[in-house]
Amino acid sequence: MGISDEKVVAVIMVGGPTKGTRFRPLSLNIPKPLFPLAGQPMVHHPISACKRIPNLAQIYLVGFYEEREFAMYVSSISTELRVPVRYLREDKPHGSAGGLYNFRDLIMEDNPSHIFLLNCDVCCSFPLPEMLEAHKRYGGMGTILVIKVSAESASEFGELVADPITNELLHYTEKPETFVSDRINCGVYVFTPDIFTAIQGVSSQRKDRANLRRLSSFEALQSATRNPPSDFVRLDQDILTPFAGKKKLYTYETMDFWEQIKTPGKSLKCSGLYLAQFRFTSPNLLASGDGTKSATIIGDVNIHPSAKVHPSAKIGPNVSISANARIGAGVRLISCIILDGVEIMENAVVFHAIVGWKSSIGKWSRVQAEGDYKAKLGITILGEAVTVEDEVVVTNSIVLPHKMLNVSVQDEILL
């Protein structure tokens, strides 16, 4: 196979309903990967980045969600990007590497020379073609996207040490208790098919160790609770850590933005990061207006074509308005995600908030927060079909679906 004929496939891990609990109440209505950031489903951003990979043959989404939850999206995105996208449902948890291995026969159908592996809940510029070029130069089994972060936040992630000259991965440890490095794993990888041999090796070692043990029934019970099944293989602890320093794994450092999308607060921040990226990649997706014939737009704003926004409204920065939303006269929106079918009436103000599907905010009301993306109540979240009546102020609060608020609330979770 010549270089120009080499095929590449991409696998995006999308998790499942048990994984999105920190994303509630938003994940009560929609699978977390389909929640809109900058007007597009979360998973759309890594999928569209994969489109830029040369010789891309197929994109696989791997997760625990029911197939019907992804069927419509997979069909539409395949047509839009003209790349086959397929959803593969895991029957049980296999770990990040085990999930890849579980579908190895399908993944290898096109005989790819390289396999990208991405986590859906990662927000970055996804420099995939550049990673692939670097990976080919290194000549190893895999290349990991890494980024430099503050020493204080590094311990929340997988920390690593790489050779400053060759970029070889020398040491990897997942969420260490003591500081190791300010370089962290971004959850984006490119591998050769040799990764399957490595995963199989881990699985075989586990089986062999289990067979060699002569255990009493009590010891066997203890071992079963301590050790994962042989087909459960974690990419970080079971592959990256043992293969570090063996000239198999290398790093590619991004100087761009990177965030992990674990909470609604982080989703609002990441929506803003993607909107800012649109300036360079998709300026047609950003709204404009000076308040004469259309609303005044400040900074990066995405407005769905079906949304109706009054010309006297003032929108932005970092605002995404979804389908069939209605934004009234004199409304002010700052740093917020407005979901499908929301109505915001005259002179209401929304900032640092996510307003859920079919919710309604009354005249002269305020839905607001301090904007601390890490704090539990750092942004205000209204679940589906929440009604905020006229002249009510909702501050630093989470409101579950189908509630009606006729009094002001602050620092509360309303169940």
**DSSP string for 7-53:** -EEEEEEEE-GGG-GGGTTGGGTS-GGGSEETTEETTHHHHHHHTTS
Alpha-carbon distance of 264 to 353, in angstroms, equals 9
For 205, list phi and psi in degrees, rounded to 5. Answer: -60, -40
Angle formed at CA 231 by CA 225 and CA 237, multiple of 5 degrees: 75
- Range 30-39 average pLDDT: 94
| Beta-carbon contacts of residue 152 (< 8 Å; ≥ 6 apart) | none
Q: Which pLDDT band holds residue 20 (cuts at 50, 70, 90)?
A: low
Long-range contacts of residues 288-293, Cβ cutoff 8 Å, at least 24 apart = 289/315
Q: Which pLDDT band holds residue 6 (cuts at 50, 70, 90)?
A: confident
pLDDT at position 278 over 70: yes
Cis peptide bond N-terminal to 17, omega within 30? no
User: Is there a contact between 338 and 351 (Cβ–Cβ < 8 Å)?
Assistant: no
* Beta partners for residue 148, in sequence order: 183
The confidence score (pLDDT) of residue 212 equals 54
The confidence score (pLDDT) of residue 209 equals 61
Q: Which pLDDT band holds residue 224 (cuts at 50, 70, 90)?
A: very low
What is the H or E stretch that residue 312 is in?
A: none
pLDDT at position 2 over 70: no
CATH 3.90.550.10 intervals, the chain: 6-261
Three-state DSSP state, 128: helix
Amino acid sitting at position 143: T
Q: Which pLDDT band holds residue 155 (cuts at 50, 70, 90)?
A: confident
CATH 2.160.10.10 intervals, the chain: 263-408
- Range 390-414 average pLDDT: 96
The confidence score (pLDDT) of residue 214 equals 47
Q: Measure the CA dihedral 261/193/235/225, to 10°.
A: 130
Instruction: Please state, as a whole number, how many other Cβ atoms lie within 10 Å of the Cβ of residue 372.
Output: 13
Q: Which pLDDT band holds residue 215 (cuts at 50, 70, 90)?
A: low
Architecture of domain 6-261: Alpha-Beta Complex (3.90)
Nearest to 262 by CA among 413, 70, 119, 61: 119
| 224 vs 132, more confident | 132
Q: Which pLDDT band holds residue 348 (cuts at 50, 70, 90)?
A: very high
pLDDT at position 196 over 80: yes
Q: Which pLDDT band holds residue 221 (cuts at 50, 70, 90)?
A: very low
Q: What confidence tens digit (pLDDT) does each residue in 61-120 have?
A: 999 898 999 999 999 999 998 989 999 999 888 888 988 999 999 999 999 999 999 999
Q: Quick one: fold of 263-408?
A: UDP N-Acetylglucosamine Acyltransferase; domain 1 (2.160.10)
pLDDT at position 331 over 50: yes
Least confident of 100-109, 205-214, 260-269: 205-214
The confidence score (pLDDT) of residue 153 equals 84
Three-state DSSP state, 307: coil
Rg (CA), the chain: 23
* pTM assigned to the model: 0.91
Average pLDDT over the chain, rounded to an integer = 90
- Range 210-219 average pLDDT: 52
Instruction: Please state, as a whole number, how many other Cβ atoms lie within 10 Å of the Cβ of residue 316.
Output: 23
